[in-house]
Structures are given as C-alpha cells and as structure tokens.
Amino acid sequence: MSGEDDFSVQECPPPPTPSAQSTKTPRSKAGSTSAGSESGKLKLCAFHDCDEDCKQGRRHCLKHNRHLDNMRNQILKQKGQAALKTWTERCKDIDFANSQVEYMAKRSVALPMFAHQPLIDFAQWEQEFGVLVTEKEGEITEPCEEEQWVLEQIAKFGRDRQKMHQEWRQKLAGHYRRDNFGYEGCLRLWLPSKEFEEKAKTKFAKGSSVETSKTKKAPNASDLDAFRAHASEAGLDHGHEFFRGGARPHDRKDEVEVEVASGSGAEPAEASEPQSSSTKGPGIKRKGASLTLDASEDEGEEDAKSKKSGGKKRKAANLASQRAALFDALSRQLTQKTLAMTAKIQEAKAAQQKQAAAPAPANPTDVTTRGLYNEALQKSLTLATAWNNLDDIKTQLDKYNKDLEDAGKGSEKITGDDETRQKQHPSLIWAIEQAGHTVIIERKLCLRTRLFMYNFVNELSSKQPHELSEEDMEATRLQWKRMVTAAAQLEVSLKKCTNDVTKHVAGLAAAAERDEKRRKDREAKEAESRHLEQSKARLKQATADGSALAALFKLKQEDLTPMKVLEGDTIPGGQNLSMPFVIKKCSHIQTWSGNPVVLQTMTNFGARHKKFPLFETQGKLASPFIAKAGREPSEKCFMDIAAPVKTKIIDMEPIAPGWSSTSWMFALAPKRTFVSLSPNSAAFLRVLMYGDVEIYTLSVQSFLDGLKNASVAVPNTTTELEEMIYQIDAETWKKMKTAPYYHLLKKDDVLFIPTCHILMERTGSSTMIYGARKSFVMADEKSVVNYTACKELQAKDNKNVEKMTQVLAALEEHAKKAS
C-alpha cells in the first residue's frame, strides 16, 4: 500500500510539461526495470541458421545487427527521415529484417569493416587499370535564322510579320536560353543566337597509382561472389572479365586434370587450354575429395600443405627424430581431444537432465521443437559416446539387434569387432548411420574410435628404425590429420546440439517468467485501478453528504484513545516507543523551519507538488530531501529529537544503504481520507509546515486481535486490510475492544508513530497540506510481533519481502541482546 516498501530512495522527478508529455516516445515509456534482471538470459539470433547470442533488446547478434545498422545509415543518408521511418516499421517483420541483413551482407565487401583485410587491393587494382580521367569537349550549334523563324510564326500561328521581327530583336538582345512563357498566350520555343553544348568523356589512365595495401588472403568463393555483386552495382568492374566470372590472370595456370575420351578427335593441346568456370565442358574435371582414410592426398590437402610450406619441399632430416617428434605431437593431440570430447559428453548429459527437469512446453510448436532438439542431441551423443568407448553403447546396440530379430531381419544385425585403416568398426558405422545429418563430418569414413587412434599412435613407436621411410611418415601424418579433423567436427556438432537444447529450455523458461511477471503486473495494475476508482467514489460521496465516510472517522471521543502530548525538545529516554505521541514546543523544529535553505526548499515543494501526476491520481506525494537542498539540516533536526533513544534505532545501512540517512517531504490533498501501513512499516517522526490532519492509528497486531474478538474474518493482504477498515461500522469497533489513538496534528507539532502501525488520516480543508518526515526502524517491546504480522501481509500481497526478512532478523537480534 506504500510506494516505499522496498526501502528505495528515489528522487521525485520534476513535473512534466504538456509539451514533454505530448512528445514522449514509446521507447521512453518502456523503461529499464527488467533489463538488469534479464541481462544474463540466453537469446538466439533470429537470422536463419545463426546460433550466436544477441544482446538484450535486440533480435540479431552483433554481426548481423551491424548489417542492419549500415542499411539504416544508408537509407537515412540517401532517402531521408520519412523513408527511414517506413523502413523501420517494415523491419518489425522478422522475415523482411532478415532479407535486409542478407542484402547488406552481400554488398558489404567495401565497407570499413574490411579495411584491415580487404578482399581486393584497390590500390594495386588502380596500378593495373589506372585512375579516372575526364576529358571535356565543346561545340556550338546554329539556331534558326531570323527569317526562318518569322515565316514559321506567320505560316504556323498566323502572327503579324512586323511584330515577329520586333520580338526576334528583343529576344536576341536578351540572355535567355529558353522562353516558355508564350507570346500573347501562345506556346512557342525560343532559341538564342548561339547555343554551346559541353560533352565530357571519361577513361582510365593506366599505371597512374603507386600505392599498396594489405589484401585478404585466400578469399573463398562466397567472398568473391559478393565482391563481384558489389563491384557491378557500384560500377567498379571496369569491363574486366573477372567480374563476369571469366578468365583468370595470364600468369596463373588452371590446375586441372584432362581426360580425353578414347576415340575422340580432340587433341591434348586443345583440351589443356584453361576455360572459364561457366564454360567448362565434361572433358575437364578436378581431383575428387579423398573419402577413405588410406586414400592419397586430394587437391584441398595439397593446396593447404603447399600454402603452409610456401611451396618448398620438406628438408631431409633424421627419420628417428621425426618419428619421436611426431609421436609426441600425436599423443598430446589425442589426450587433448579425449578430454575435450569427454567434457562435451558430460555437458550433453547435463543438458538432457535439465531438459527433463524443466516444465514441459505448453505450446504445440514448442513441444515439437523440443522433441526435434532432443532427438538431434541424443543421436549426436550416441555417436560421440561410441567414439569415446564402444562399450557404453552396447545396451542400445543390443536393443537394435533384438528389434531386428523380432522383425525377422536377423541377417542385418550389427556384429564384428574389426577396425582397420581401411574399415570402420561396425558399431561405429551403425552410430554414424543413426546420426544421419545431425552430425556434420566432411569425411565420415575417416572417423575412427578413440581406442583405434590410441593404437595408431602406439604403432608409430613400435616400428623398427629400418622400417621407417619418408613416405610412411607422410602417410601417417595425413591419416592422423583426417581422423583428428573428423573427431573435431563430431565435437563441434555435439556442442551445437547441446547448445540448441540448452537455449530452447532457457528461452521457454525466460518466456514463462516474463509471462508470469506480466500477469502479476497486470493484476496489480487492475487492483490498483479498482482501488483508485473506489477511493474516488468514496471521496465524491463523502464530499456530497458524508454518507460514504468510514465509520472510523465518525467515532465519538469516548471511543478513541487520545495520544499522549509531551512538551520539550527531544523524546524522553524512558518513553514507551510502542505507543504514538506528540511533542509540542520543540526548539529544534523552530530552528529547522527558520533555516533559509529549508524554507526555500519547502516553499518550492508546496507550490509544485500539485503539478505531479502521482499527486493528481493518489492524492498524496513523497519526495526525498537532496544534498545541499535541505537534507543536512533536516537530518540534524530529526536526529537531535531522537537522540535520547538512539540506542533503540536499528542500523539500516547494511540492508538499505542511504535509506536511514534520508528525510522526506510529503504532501496530502485536502478533504481526503487515507488508510495505509506506515512507510516501509517503520516508525517515523512527522512535522507539518502547513495545514492540519486528523490522525488515527493503532498497531497491526492489535487490529488483527480486535477482529478476532469481534468474530470478523482476518484480512490476508494489505489491500484487504485497507478495504476492511473502510467497511467496519461503529458497532464492530466497539466489539473489537481496540480504541484507535487519535490526535489533530497542526503546524509545528512533532508526531511519533511506532513501528508497524496502521496510519489512518483525514485531511482538513486547507488548500496546502505538506511537511517533512523521517523514518526509523525502531525496536520496542512489540516491534517483533507487529513486524512479523506486516511481513506476512506484504508477502501474501505478492510483494518482495526480502529486505523485510533482514529487518525482522535485526529486530530479533536487538531484542535478544536487550533481554
């Protein structure tokens, strides 16, 4: 019921002006209340097959969002703000946004992001094709002769000859190039005496550039295609064959193998001529990729090896030393790969356990998606487990064989234990077939189990020195590279499937949490709206005839308990802090109110508080004093008043930093009634600067006990408690045997309300009612009982009671020390 239940100290914002309210954007209204709590949650990039995480509030990862930013800047620069607004609206459709990302990605070759490693060195390109040179040519065209023009005007338009000669001389003396205004309402074209036309021609001067820059090494086919598209669109192709997918430079030969069909009349010289990729015939083909483990090197492996060695041959060395170095390198790689694969298998099993423990999806689409992700993870996990240890999949293999026997296909059972360089293990073959396209391995036939790779390495060390040869060493390196590459690709696929399941589970959990939060926020807003409407209705009726005024505010004086009134400057040391009281004639208040800074601050607050929307809707407002604007003298004033009972004040700095060193300004609307718990369910000192307020108060536990005495149902939440106070009649108050404390608070009176009291107020008719307040968590003989009751009410009202739990523990600790 109080806006300060979380012990937060927030500055009251300045009242918005009408212009500011009208120009507020939806983005500014959204706020950032949940950004901190959701920053750690996973969110997948929305672009097609991208599995990268994206930042909070974005739909794409950093890479793809950069393409959208580039597109946005280009549209703003070339089309203007209106076009950008239209484009932004269309980007709300994720398919359109993805198409824009794809469009910009294909044409981003020359963007600044490629400045360090451009695909094409434009400086070297200009050395070959030169720089742009513009040549201008001019010529003079002859206009119509005077007599020719005059005759045309007479014959075609029927005009007077004398007037036409006069018109010709007049226009000839002018500087006009065209005259489209017409003569006497008739349209005609006027040509001057001489007309100069300028023509420009552009060409490239070869060899004019001398700059060099770093190029991107080994661009792949997609990079080259993107560069071709960009250069063609930007007009930078210079008519070269490269941009039409044509010939290569003359100094580079096409490494092709020529096969001439027997009986054909083609000659080798003609067949060996390089052709473009678009015109290659069936007689020319490249080497195929090596699919088996013991096959010879394919073209890709040869290129990679030649690039790494710079085209140089390996130097002859001691084969025994080479074997020792190779054995050490292979052993280390196998150990690292085994540890990495084992870790990925454990992560996959943990993801399966989390998925099983997570709530089942409610949406049919999510159910199907979850099933597909789980199936892919299980298949890749089975293959990874088979690579690590074939015995771990024996149960699944036996079940598969049994199903084949039951189906009458016993001949297709998986049997055998042979695994060689030429043949995979039968169980591993079965696992690969079961995985299908779930696992992306370029050479699946090169995959071998961990045990085979271990024996492969040991076999290298068991050879005799005379059995070593350079060819065998090269074959060993090549075969090991293929096996390790296949295992690494298996590890990557398993990691991808694990991340898919983890992100899907986390995404659904986050969505469910957001939906639950929205539901609670919606219910809270609806409850607040209903409560506000009821309060306004009661106020309207009470203002009209007083019939809707709560019975509490109509109780007679004998049914109320007057508050104790003290005179002095401070709270007496032996005062009972579980009962409210009032201090009059306090010199600290006189000093505080006479302070120029305090006087200026309070005057400004009294003049401006009615302009805040919160005051208009709720009828009350609270704003903290800020540094150098009344905080220091206000803190000193209230702490001086409470100095004798300082030992009973709980230190709140570890629980809510800054809260215990803050004083508040408050304002109340006239002719209104308010019922609520004390702010933060804490004790407080209050002083009025202007106006008067009728104060009714009693402790929470006393009120609940009184309801039991009157045989009335106890409220479960703070909202129900407030509504109940409005509904209780005078007869029930008498049956409760709990007389509320009452006092008419006026200017310069200091009011003390104990911890966890219900505050019921009725404001007077003064147009301005405002003052200052200082809250304390103060221990008294009933504070633990009352605070426990408040905490339970707040918890049932779906409010955060984490800090209240800490405060209750501090009160209990203080009570234990006092006893």
pLDDT tens digits, 541-557: 555 445 567 788 888 88
Taking all residues of the chain, what is their mean pLDDT, rounded to a whole number?
Answer: 77
Which helix (H) or strand (E) element contains residue 567? strand 564-567
Residue 317 pLDDT level (bands cut at 50, 70, 90): low
Q: Which pLDDT band, with edges at 50, 70 and 90, does 748 fall under?
A: confident
Residue 465 has pLDDT above 60, yes or no: yes
Q: Which residues are 690's β-sheet partners?
A: 770
For strand 581-584 and strand 564-567, is the pairing parallel, antiparallel, or unpaired? Answer: parallel
Neighbours of 513 (CB within 10 A): 14
Longest Cα pair distance anywhere in the chain, in angstroms? 127
Q: Quote the pLDDT of residue 798.
A: 78
DSSP state of 436: G
Cα separation of 23 and 353, whole Å?
Answer: 51
Question: Could you tell me which residue, 329 or 194, shows the higher pLDDT?
Answer: 329
Alpha-carbon distance values, 124 to 115, 129, 213, 214, 786 (Å):
15, 9, 8, 10, 84
Q: Look at residue 279 in the predicted model and tell me its pLDDT.
A: 39
Poorest-pLDDT segment among 65-79, 154-168, 191-205: 191-205
Residue 311 CB contacts under 8 Å (≥ 6 apart), including other chains: none
Q: Which residues of 244-274 are buried (b: 16+ CB within 10 A; e: fewer)?
A: eeebeeeeeeeebeeeeeeeeeeeeeebeee
What b/e readout covers 613-644, taking b as 16+ CB neighbours within 10 angstroms?
A: ebbeebbbbbbbbeeeebbebbbebbbbbbee
Residue 434 pairs in a beta bridge with: none
Query: What does the pLDDT look like over 601-649, one tens digit per residue?
Result: 998 988 888 888 888 878 888 999 988 888 999 999 999 999 999 888 8
Q: What is d(CA 86, CA 742) in angstroms, rounded to the nearest whole number?
A: 63
pLDDT score at 144: 62
Q: What is the mean pLDDT of residues 246-264?
A: 36
Question: What was the pLDDT predicted at 194?
Answer: 52
SS (H, E, C) 85-116: HHHHHHCCCHHHHHHHHHHHHHCCCCCHHHCC
Query: Which residues have CB under 8 Å from 800's CB, separation 6+?
Result: 5, 6
Domains of the chain: 122-220 (no CATH), 319-516 (no CATH), 549-818 (2.60.120.10)
Work out the pLDDT band at 343, boundaries 50, 70, 90.
very high
In degrees and rounded to multiples of 5, residue 636 shows phi and psi of -65, -40
Length of the chain: 819
Integer Cα distance of 168 and 185 in angstroms: 17
Identify the band that residue 240 occupies on the pLDDT scale cut at 50, 70 and 90.
low
For the residues 761-770, what does the mean pLDDT come to?
88
Q: What is the mean pLDDT of residues 771-775?
A: 93
pLDDT exceeds cutoff 90 at 697? yes
Given a contact cutoff of 8 angstroms between Cβ atoms, the answer to whether 290 and 302 are in contact is no
> Can you give the pTM of this predicted structure?
0.45
Of 96-100, 157-161, 170-174, 789-793, the least confident: 170-174
Q: For residues 642 and 571, is the Cβ–Cβ distance under 8 A?
A: yes
The arithmetic mean of pLDDT across residues 450-469, rounded, is: 83
